[in-house]
Structure 1
Amino acid sequence: MSNPTSKPSSPSSSRSRPVLIVSAVAAAAVLLGVVSYTATKPSSPGAAGSSSVADVSADPSAGVYPHLEAYARRDAADKLALGRADAPVVLVEYADFKCGYCGKFARDTEPVLVRKYVENGTLRIEWRNFPIFGEESEAVARASWAAGQQGRFWEFHKAAYAEGAKEKGFGKDRLAALAQEAGVPDAARFAKDTESRAAREAVRKDQEQGYELGATSTPSFLVNGRPIAGAQPLETFTEAIEAAAKAAPGKAGR
């Protein structure tokens, strides 16, 4: 789980949120904000994360803050989401393309979740750009949004999280190369969209949502209102997804 060097002040818009949601966010922050890097880093070089910090009960209601389910947008037009808008379970991921643990989750865990749950209609994955490592993080976040405007977000996501990709940096030329690798059809539009006000606003909106939740490091997740901090083992996510699906009987795999 990677930590930023600094955190911007909380967005003023959060002050207007209903008291119940603010209370739920405060509770979630215990998991998303207070959990330290030491507690969530992999216990061994080959591990995805420490299961001891994010143990998930099979009880569908354990560790769930119902009001946090509202953070799932369920927008059928969302170009940075994967799966049915009406899926019974939504996994919201707050991540940075420069985060090594985010890359490990993207390569090792997410594809399994897609095959096992997204493809049968149980799960929807909604991406939130949460850049915390400076200018290059911001730039690649905008670029991923720009790729999404041409229907190639997940292809860009795969290219940017490929083994060794972040070590090459995310300068302007590198972003163009990643877009080409992702099959983005219009390079000129991609370049323009990456630097657009719309891209900056979309990234800012995602980032502010993450900070509202108390997330100060990446990756951080919500599974139907259940916070999970760090790139935990596959079993943590499967247990959370199956518990959430169990709480929504008759909806999975529609």
Structure 2
Amino acid sequence: MSSRSRRRRRGGGSSFGLIIGISVAALVVVGAIILISVSGGSSGESIPDDLTQFIDTEIVQGAPGFSIGDPGAPVVLVDYSDFSCGACSTLADVLEEIIVDPDGYVQSGELRIVYKPVWFVNPPRSEPASRAAYCAAEQDLFWQYHTEIWNLFASGGTNAYTEPVLTSRADRVDGLDLGQFESCLSAPTTQQAVQAVVDEATAIGVRSTPTVFVNGQQVQLTQPLSASIETAIESALSTP
């Protein structure tokens, strides 16, 4: 990211004691690595408190979009992503860095991000993940749960996207009502809502993921994704 982003040893012991100490420390580190791997990684950085008031679900012709950022922001980034897409996972990390950066575009009020989940890569797996994300959004917890889904992807791939596992992950999100989440997950209205996003994406010509629009203009994504995104945002900010 550019300049806008943050983006003494004790003595006196024997050699034998030192070797034992190093060995124990190594075992602790290995154990920690195993624990992180099994648990699916960290939950990511938390959403800043002053941004929680700007978390919303926007409905356009029945298709929800999950937004964060000042509704009056001059730049709006819309991300059509698939929870089974590796590049989408990378983009999610880029956008999370922008969101939590205290000197970045979102917290400065310059940028609002809207996430639109689609399933082009692996529909049988991505569709349940999209429904789960929608149900977290119903409780204004989309962005917190969105991180849990990507942690699942990193640790177990799309095979981890089963309703029991997705529900278990929801139970990790502070403040989420699990009973309400479970009822939402199987509701016909939820299925209709997430299908509406796919229909919307197809209608505007989205054929692959991630597909990103900044102020209505599609962004040509190249590596590194962070540079592509920042260039598009800066261009939009400099346009009268």
Normalised-by-shorter TM-score class: 0.5 to 0.7
**Equivalent-residue separation in structure 1 for 2:233 and 2:215 (angstroms):** 8
Checking the alignment, whether the CA contact within 8 Å between 2:55 and 2:69 is kept in structure 1 is: no
Aligned to 1:110: 95
Checking the alignment, whether the CA contact within 8 Å between 1:82 and 1:125 is kept in structure 2 is: yes
Amino acid at match of 1:244: A
Q: Does 1:244 align with 2:240?
A: no
1:91–1:206 CA distance, 2 compared to 1 (3 A)? same
**Equivalent-residue separation in structure 2 for 1:145 and 1:127 (angstroms):** 11
Aligned to 2:141: 152
Secondary structure of the 2:105 match is: helix
Unaligned runs of at least 5 residues, structure 2: 1-53, 59-64
Amino acid at match of 1:106: A
Q: How many residues align?
A: 174
Alpha-carbon offset, residue 199 of structure 1: 1.2
- Name the structure, 1 or 2, with higher relative contact order (CA <8 Å, separation 6+): 1
Aligned to 1:193: 184
Unaligned runs of at least 5 residues, structure 1: 1-73, 249-254
Aligned to 1:213: 204
Cα RMSD (Å):
2.1
Higher strand fraction: Structure 1 or Structure 2?
2
**Equivalent-residue separation in structure 2 for 1:203 and 1:167 (angstroms):** 18
Alpha-carbon offset, residue 181 of structure 1: 2.1
Q: What's the TM-score, normalizing by structure 1?
A: 0.63
1:229–1:157 CA distance, 2 compared to 1 (3 A)? farther
Alignment of 1:1-254 (within 5 A): 78=58, 80-107=66-93, 109-114=94-99, 115=101, 116-132=104-120, 133-162=122-151, 163-183=154-174, 185-230=176-221, 232=223, 233-248=225-240
Residue deviations 1:200-228, cap 9 Å, x none?
12212211121122111111110012212
Amino acid at match of 1:141: S
Amino acid at match of 1:199: T
Amino acid at match of 1:111: E
Percent identity for Structure 1 against Structure 2 = 27
Checking the alignment, whether the CA contact within 8 Å between 2:222 and 2:228 is kept in structure 1 is: no
**Equivalent-residue separation in structure 2 for 1:206 and 1:247 (angstroms):** 29
Q: What's the TM-score, normalizing by structure 2?
A: 0.67
Residue deviations 1:23-52, cap 9 Å, x none?
xxxxxxxxxxxxxxxxxxxxxxxxxxxxxx
Checking the alignment, whether the CA contact within 8 Å between 2:171 and 2:178 is kept in structure 1 is: yes
**Equivalent-residue separation in structure 2 for 1:161 and 1:229 (angstroms):** 23
